[in-house]
Amino acid sequence: MRAGDDGKLTAADRAKLNRQQNRLSNQIYQDKHNANTAHYGKGEIGQRRENQQDRIAQGIRSGQLTPREASNLENKEQGVNREVKGMRQANGGKLTNADRKAVNQQQNKLSTQIYNKKHNAQKGY
């Protein structure tokens, strides 16, 4: 948007960005507070999921993440969550040690992506 207006945001651009951020903020709120989150559990996997949601939300508030970057990260988080759900369904509601290890690796990868997106944005990359 800035590239098209000599580095400035027009009032219409600011309004559009504000709407996008509000929608994303509402999605994050709904994800964190809807009744379906209970199946992620209170264990390590559930706590990491919550922490990563908080990191994405903080990145939006601080301006370190654009709405598009936050949306992409949220989509990746949802993919991990769907995989966890499938693993639990396949094993009677429990995660095996191998499942936990696989999920932990995926969460590590996503955590690194969140960090990189937040910190590279500050450097102008």
Q: What is the mean pLDDT of the chain?
A: 81
The total of other beta-carbon atoms located within 10 Å of residue 88's CB is: 17
Q: What is the pLDDT of residue 112?
A: 92
**Rounded Cα–Cα distance for residues 54 and 2 (Å):** 28
The pLDDT score that the predictor gives to residue 125 is: 44
* pLDDT at 37 (0 to 100): 45
Low-confidence ranges of the chain (pLDDT < 50): 35-39, 123-125
Closest residue by Cα to residue 29 from 10, 47, 53, 13:
53
User: How far is Cα 8 from Cα 60, in angstroms, rounded to an integer?
Assistant: 20
Each residue's pLDDT tens digit, 65-90 = 888 888 888 889 888 888 888 888 89
